[in-house]
Amino acid sequence: DIQMTQSPSSLSASVGDRVTITCRASQSINNYLNWYQQKPGKAPKLLIYAASTLQSGVPSRFSGSGSGTAYTLSISSLQPDDFATYYCQQSYNTPLAFGQGTKVEFK
Amino acid sequence: QVQLVQSGAEVKKPGASVRVSCKVSGYSLSDVSMHWVRQAPGKGLEWMGGFDLDDAETVYAREFQGRVTMTEDTSTNTAYMELRSLRSEDTAVYFCASAVEFSSYLDVWGQGTTVTVSS
């Protein structure tokens, strides 16, 4: 099974900060990497798919990059609505594993 | 409007079974790959299984094989997830989520169904 490891597990940031979250797969996943945002009590929301494609309606301050086993989610200028938990997920093969999550908190 | 609406919260005793439904509106269930994901309190997301459109079969995560069944009723456009032999560790929010194909992103999610297992 492919293991997904996110770092950091949590981070504190201020409005306007640039934030970067890293996701590493235990083997190459050929850009089958998706990012989700989840707020407390809500379902996850798709942000980015295929490593770097922005889902319709998602603000352009979100971006994704990477290849092979290493991927990043960046938020160029953190907004109040962005304080949430972020998950990466590989859809290369089964099981379709998620990372453990990165909680972005207010500094 | 594309939407997944799940059934309400459930409270079950250990050893019992639970069935969660996921009503699809805005598109046909037969045109998507439906997946189920759960989240224990304070924990991350855990993929349980999904329907592979290409092979026309459901693929289950190893952890749940033999204890879970995912089905679809295309006449009512509703997907179901049944989990048997419940234990306290199955207490979680269960989500249905759809993808355009099996090995793809989950772009539409249900609101979640809380299942509590307690004696």
Q: What is the pLDDT of residue A31?
A: 97
Q: Do A97 and B47 touch (CB under 8 A)?
A: yes
Per-residue confidence band for B54, with pLDDT thresholds at 50, 70 and 90:
confident
Give φ, ψ of B76 to 5 degrees: -110, 0
Q: Is the pLDDT of residue B101 over 90?
A: no
Per-residue confidence band for A21, with pLDDT thresholds at 50, 70 and 90:
very high
Q: Is the pLDDT of residue B1 over 90?
A: no
Residue B62 near residue B75, CB atoms below 8 Å:
no
Q: What percent of chain B has pLDDT over 70?
A: 100
Residues of A with CB under 8 A from a CB of B: 1, 32, 34, 36, 38, 43-46, 49-50, 55, 87, 89, 91-101
> Does B112 touch chain A if contact means CB atoms closer than 8 Å?
yes
Whose CA is closest to A36, among A47, A51, A22, A49? Answer: A47
Q: List the single residue in B35, B61, B112 with the smallest CB-CB distance to A43.
A: B112
For A44, nearest residue in chain B (alpha carbons): B109
Give φ, ψ of B90 to 5 degrees: -85, -5
For B41-48, what is the mean pLDDT? Answer: 98
Q: Do A91 and B99 touch (CB under 8 A)?
A: yes
Q: What is the Cα Rg of chain B in Å?
A: 14
Cα B81 to the chain's mean position, in Å? 5
Q: What is the pLDDT of residue A17?
A: 97
Six-digit token pair at A43?
């379902």
